[in-house]
Amino acid sequence: MTEQIKQRQPLIELKDVTKTYHDGKRKDVFAVSNFNLTLYEGETLGLVGESGCGKSTIGNMLVHLFTPDEGSILFRGQDIASMNERQFHPLRKEIQMVFQDPYSSLNPRKKIGWLLEEPLKIHRKDMKKEERKAKVEEILKEVGLDAEYANRYPKELSGGQRQRVSIALAFLMNPAFLVADEPVSALDVSVQAQILNLMRELQEKYQLTSLFISHDLGVVSYLSDRIGVMYLGHLVELGTTEEILKNPAHPYTKALFDVNAGVLFGEIPSPSDPPSGCPFHTRCVYCTERCKAEMPQVQTLSGEGENVHIAACHRIGVSS
C-alpha cells in the first residue's frame, strides 16, 4: 500500500510463539514453531503461505481463540497469551477478526440488526436503543448495505453480502487491531475485488493495525504495507511489500510468485512429521546436505525496525 513506511510504535509483538495440537491417537501437529513477529500501529501486514503453514493458527492466537504452548503475545505491552477469557474480555472490542467463511461466522437464527446491536449492548452500555440502531444503520452504510438489511436473516443474503456484514461486525467497535483470515477465498471471483476494495477503504479510513492472511501473494500485495511468508510453522521471510516484490530472497517466496511455472514442486510435508533441517528442503531446487541437517537462522538483509528485510535460508550471502 505504501512505498515508504514511517517509523511507528509496535502494537502487537509475538515472541518465540509455539503452538502444537495434541491428539492421543495421532502424532503431535506442530502448527507454529518459535515464531517472532512485530506489527506496528497503523500498518497492514500480509501473512502468506500455502494451506497448512500455520498462518490461521497465528490469527486465531492473536484474537485469543487459541493460546500458545510457549512464548508471549504482547498487545500494547500486555501479554494476552497468559490471560484467561475473563481477563481478555475487556480487550475483545479492541481486537477483532473477519473469518474466511461468511456462511458459518454469522448466527443463522438472528437478524442482522440483532447481530450488530449485541456487541454494542455488551461493550457500550452507555448507548441508548435509538443510538444503537443509528450506529447499526451507519455501519451497514459504510460496508455498502442499506439500512433495511438489518431486518434480514443471514440466509437471505448472498455470500458477498454476508461478508460485508462480517466486516461491519469487525469494524463496529472501532478496534485497534484486526485479523482478516482469507476473507475472500470463499467468495465468487466476481465479488472478491469488491470486498478487497472495501477492506482497503476501511483500513485507510480507520487507520487500524491489521493482519491480512491469505494463500494468494497477489491479494496480500494489494492490501499490505509489509509481507511475511510462512512455511510449515516458520516465518521464512519478512519485508516491506515493495522489497518482497522486487527482491524476494527465500526460494519459497520466489516460488510463490510463479506457482504455475513448476518452480514449486511436491506437497507441503505433514506438520505432524516435519523434515529435519530447513523445513523447505524437501521441495527446494537449491537443497544441499546442510539444508537437510541444519535449521537456517533468520538473517537481516537490509533495513531495521518495520523496514527490515529478513529471511531464513542458508543460500543468503552465497553467490548462485
Pair (158, 186) in one structural domain: no
Pair (75, 187) in one structural domain: yes
Taking only the tens of pLDDT, the chain with its 320 residues reads 544 455 789 999 999 999 999 876 667 888 999 999 999 999 999 999 998 899 999 999 999 999 999 999 999 999 999 999 999 999 999 999 999 888 888 999 999 999 999 999 999 999 999 999 999 999 999 999 999 999 999 999 999 999 999 999 999 999 999 999 999 998 888 899 999 999 999 999 999 999 999 999 989 999 999 999 999 999 999 999 999 999 999 999 999 887 645 557 788 888 888 999 999 999 998 999 999 999 999 999 999 999 999 999 999 876 54
Kindly give, in sequence order, each residue whose CB lies less than 8 Å from that of residue 192, ignoring residues fewer than 6 positions away. 184, 219
Contact 275, 253 (CB under 8 A): no
Q: What CATH number is given to the structural domain containing 208?
A: 3.40.50.300
Contact 10, 193 (CB under 8 A): no
Tell me the C-alpha distance between 181 and 113, whole Å.
24
Pair (168, 182) in one structural domain: no
Pair (155, 270) in one structural domain: no
Q: How many domains does the chain have?
A: 2
Pair (230, 270) in one structural domain: yes
Range of the domain at 195: 10-94+175-312
For the chain, how many residues are written? 320
Residue 318 belongs to some domain of the structure: no
Residue 4 belongs to some domain of the structure: no
Residue 5 belongs to some domain of the structure: no
**What residue type is assigned to position 180 of the chain?**
A
pTM of the prediction?
0.92
